[in-house]
Amino acid sequence: MATRALSQKKLLKSLAHRYFSPRSLNTAASASASPSDSSSISINLTEKPESILQNQLAALSANTNTNTNNSSYINLHDAEKLFSSVSTTKLLRATANLHLASMEPIVDLGMWVMNSKLMDKEVFRDIVLAFVKHTFYEHFCAGENALATENTVRSLNSGGAGLRAMLVYAVEYASDNQSCDRNLESFLDTVEIAKSLPPSSVSFIIVKLSAICPMKLLERVSDLLRWQYKDSSFNLPWKLDTLPIFSDISPTYHTLKKPEPLTLEEEHDLQLGHQRLLKICQKCLDANVPLTIDAEHTSVQPAIDYLTYSSAIMYNKYDNIVMYGTIQAYLKDAKERLLLASKAADNIGIPMGFKLVRGAYMSSERKLASSLGFESPIHNYIQETHACYNECASFMIDKIANGPGALVLATHNVESGKIAVAKAHDLGIGRVSQKLEFAQLYGMSEPLSFGLRNAGFQVSKYMPFGPVEIVIPYLLRRAEENRGLLSASSLDRQLMR
């Protein structure tokens, strides 16, 4: 363990010298600060991880050595130009839906209703689903079937909008192999939808691994991987070549005692899960559409990263990146894990793509850690999450400008968008590059999406689709995750009005 800790520190130090120069990096302001309060932060990975963010937060007021005006590359204030490709009718409906979604009592009531026994009554359920379908579903989702989804993607990509689609069949979890096989067919059908659309209108296929590999099995595999990280002599005979999954500050409280080895049946089920993923990889390779694996709870993320990275080793060849992983910047170990995985991929000649997000499971992560008597794996303050996101973005933008790899910056944070645009512009990464993509959820942060598009960057919308009753769990999770964002973000609604 001590040897691994020493080698990781040496690796992080070498990466700091290679990728992080003394020039400053603006960090996103806190939720209560204005964009003009952004500060300049210089990154030093020779410090301990715990002290890096403290030093960066102390530098929030420094604002020195800034030679770039972040706002000069992206204009979010010319409403007529931003929404020139959107009809008045659609703007009116979007404004009404966002206004409803921004009212937390409405969100609370909706979540209570959807989770109540009232939904067992057919008449009541039909009324509620009809309301959801013609409001929130139509606003945040692409369609119920292939034809409706294709029409939505075409509309998004043509007519001056110029945005691309990240297609995701919005099923949440599977509990058995039969459900996994059903979901596999839906994901393969999603690739067929992408093939039927104009080239480049679909940027990615998105998959949740818990939909094609049973959740309980992912938890078991994650426990075993954590224990092997604690004890390198712990043998996992089924384990394939992969990239680093943990750093020395990764949470391991999920696995407090030595887990039992996988049974023969569990090993078989794990093989089936991996085979499903490889089938999707091959389908995406044949269709020339990359695949991104969504991040999930920390209880199963080690297994997800393991399957993602082992598949990437098989399919990411030369400059063709088929498989992308996802890093959640709200996790305290996010930056170290990104650096270690990226460096390991370089060492074995595998081009690796990453989608960078802030995170989607804050409430449940904090509750679990607290229930076990451990500190939350999530940053204590929103400023720390902003700083981590921007540092990871800076590292990857530097890296793809000068070498292999690709990056998707999934963010609704305007300041993070401005910072990334300024850095990419300085390094000459723009419309002609296939290495950088910005992304926002469909139905959210439209000014940022259009502003980034107008600035000359590739922009995608994360577009879930599927029958209303299947998509409901996704909508509930997004409502819980984004309630603060929707209530605090008045810019979208103001510009739409």
User: pLDDT (tens digit, 9 = 90+) per residue, 259-314?
Assistant: 999 999 999 999 999 999 999 999 999 999 999 999 999 999 999 999 999 999 99
Site of tokens 């800790």 = 5
pLDDT averaged over every residue in the chain: 83
Q: What is the 3-state secondary structure (H, E, C) of 143-162?
A: CCCHHHHHHHHHHHHCCCCC
Q: Is the pLDDT of residue 12 over 90?
A: no
Which tokens hold the place of 270? Answer: 């794990």
**Residue 450 CA: distances (Å) to CA of 62, 140, 268:** 31, 17, 47
Residue 432 backbone class (left: φ over 0; alpha: ψ -120 to 50; beta: rest): alpha
Q: What is the pLDDT of residue 488?
A: 46
User: pLDDT (tens digit, 9 = 90+) per residue, 111-132?
Assistant: 788 778 888 888 888 888 888 8
**Residue 484 CA: distances (Å) to CA of 31, 409, 430, 489:** 10, 20, 31, 8
User: pLDDT (tens digit, 9 = 90+) per residue, 193-225?
Assistant: 999 999 889 999 999 999 999 999 999 999 999
Q: What is the 3-state secondary structure (H, E, C) of 368-399?
A: HHHHCCCCCCECCCHHHHHHHHHHHHHHHHHH
Q: Is the pLDDT of residue 464 over 60?
A: yes
Q: Is the pLDDT of residue 353 over 50?
A: yes
Residue type, 229: Y
Q: Is the pLDDT of residue 68 over 60?
A: no
Spatial CB neighbours of 118, under 8 Å, sequence gap ≥ 6: 124, 125
Q: Is the pLDDT of residue 327 over 60?
A: yes
Q: Is the pLDDT of residue 39 over 50?
A: no
The model carries a pTM of 0.82
What whole-number distance in Å separates Cα of residue 417 and Cα of residue 437? 11
Q: What is the pLDDT of residue 461?
A: 95
Confidence of residue 363 (pLDDT cuts 50, 70, 90): confident
3-state secondary structure of 323: strand
CA nearest to 398, candidates 389, 407, 388: 407
Of the two residues 465 and 8, the one the predictor is more confident about is: 465
Confidence of residue 9 (pLDDT cuts 50, 70, 90): low
Residue type, 254: H
**Residue 158 CA: distances (Å) to CA of 93, 161, 189, 196:** 20, 6, 23, 15
Instruction: Give me the mean pLDDT over the 70-99 stretch.
Output: 70
Of the two residues 338 and 81, the one the predictor is more confident about is: 338
Q: What is the pLDDT of residue 299?
A: 96
3-state secondary structure of 420: helix
Q: What is the pLDDT of residue 200?
A: 87
Spatial CB neighbours of 39, under 8 Å, sequence gap ≥ 6: 26, 27, 59, 60, 61, 62, 63
